[in-house]
Amino acid sequence: MIYDPLELTSELIRCRSVTPNNDGAIELLSKKLEDIGFDCEIIEFTEEGTEPIKNLWARIGNKRPCLSFAGHTDVVPVADEESWSCPPFLGKNNGEAIIGRGAADMKGSISSFVSAVSKFLVENSNPFEGSIAFIITGDEEGVAINGTSKLLKWMEKKGYSFDDCIVGEPTNPNSLGEMIKIGRRGSTNITITCNGLEGHVAYPHLADNPIPKLVKIINELISQPLDEGNEYFDASNLELTSIDTGNFATNVIPSSITACLNIRYNDNFDKDKIEEEINKRLNCFDYDFDVEFQHSGDSFITKPGQFVNDLQAIIEKHSGIKPVLSTTGGTSDARFIKDYGRVVEFGLIGKSMHKIDEFSKNEDIIMLRDIYFDVLRKYFS
């Protein structure tokens, strides 16, 4: 049985799996994979204060090497369904493209995964030397607490492992074949609260204004670059995202002020080193202030080797484009996967993701299926 990637994309879009809801998406994939011989386990993880999330582990074969496909079935909300040219959860195929929430990010890629594997198994009716696995979550677009991170730990306890993994995030800016993600920058949120003494603006000597203090703190943080980048990464960047006093009065000096910043850092740093660097820059101040760090993932790199080189060559064969090896963009579940095996990201075009009339071209979904299929043939040759 060979699955049509276009039909499966539409089927998955019809599952209204707006994070953290599942609406049958995980069960649909599990059934499709079971029907072509996979052993599937649906695992629900919970944690106090969060919604329960269903995840899927599926595997066929029990030998090494193991190639895994990873992705998420959850999608972002639709703000105004009336603004779409068709219902966003209809999965409409207009003959040229499939329109719907998740068409690009990333139900089209998951469908291409499954179609490629089904085609490979038909071609290899005798057991092949190795195994294929799926790591699918419903919690990538949400808080990412009960999803891939916990699924990987569960796999480790069960003795399940993989060697290489392709994450189907929409990595291509404009044309299929432009970009493979071989790493991601780390991300750290910083909250700085500077304290003072509330008072009337007409009597500043009776108050202690925290705002000028915070301005000096921020200037110290942003006055010098964190680094200059390296062979695979751009320079780390620190961005100010919010400043707030909670003060709506025009004649009151506030008692405190809070600034929020985000750092996207390369592999010159990890979460401990980035905290050390920030604290070093703040040591010159004796103000009354607090600093909190919240880390969402360290940077990582999968340096080019046979797997990356083969993927690059296969993509160029199908698309006519030699993809650049990139570490740009935000975070993804690859930040968890990299602790368990080699991981790269390659999927559809991301230009329409999270937008009104999100779509993927039919020809792109089919080409992506063919790329994944050739990856399987090369990997197990």
Residues sharing a CB contact under 8 Å with residue 285, sequence separation 6 or more, in sequence order: 213, 216, 217, 220
Tell me the average pLDDT across 346-362.
97
Q: Is the pLDDT of residue 287 over 80?
A: yes
**Is the alpha carbon torsion for 19, 20, 21, 22 positive or negative?**
positive
Q: What is the pLDDT of residue 297?
A: 86
Using 50, 70 and 90 to split pLDDT, how confident is the model at 128? confident
The rounded distance, in Å, linking the Cα atoms of 293 and 318 is 44
SS3 content of the chain, % helix, strand, coil (to 5): 30, 25, 45
**Residue 236, CA distances (Å) to 52, 173, 187, 229 in order:** 35, 21, 10, 7
Runs of H (alpha helix) within 179-262? 211-222
> What's the start-to-end Cα distance of the chain, in Å?
22
pLDDT in tens, 20-45: 999 999 999 999 999 999 999 999 99
**Is the alpha carbon torsion for 121, 124, 127, 129 positive or negative?**
negative
Tell me the average pLDDT across 221-234.
94
Q: Is the pLDDT of residue 126 over 80?
A: no
Planar angle of CA 64, 140, 146, nearest 5 degrees: 80
- Full set of structural domains in the chain with CATH: 5-184+299-379 (3.40.630.10), 186-297 (3.30.70.360)
Q: What is the pLDDT of residue 38?
A: 98
Tell me the average pLDDT across 320-330.
94
Which residue type, as a one-letter code, is found at position 244?
Answer: D
**Is the alpha carbon torsion for 117, 123, 125, 130 positive or negative?**
negative
The rounded distance, in Å, linking the Cα atoms of 72 and 237 is 28
Q: Is the pLDDT of residue 355 over 80?
A: yes
Average pLDDT over the chain reads 96
Which residues partner with 53 through β-bridges?
45
CB-based contact 261:187 (threshold 8 Å): no
Residues tagged active-site: 74, 140
Using 50, 70 and 90 to split pLDDT, how confident is the model at 189? very high
Planar angle of CA 285, 289, 290, nearest 5 degrees: 120
Residues sharing a CB contact under 8 Å with residue 335, sequence separation 6 or more, in sequence order: 184, 186, 296, 297, 298, 300
**Is the alpha carbon torsion for 108, 110, 114, 120 positive or negative?**
positive
Selection from 144, 249, 242 nearest residue 189 by Cα: 242
- pTM of the entire structure? 0.90
Residues sharing a CB contact under 8 Å with residue 48, sequence separation 6 or more, in sequence order: none
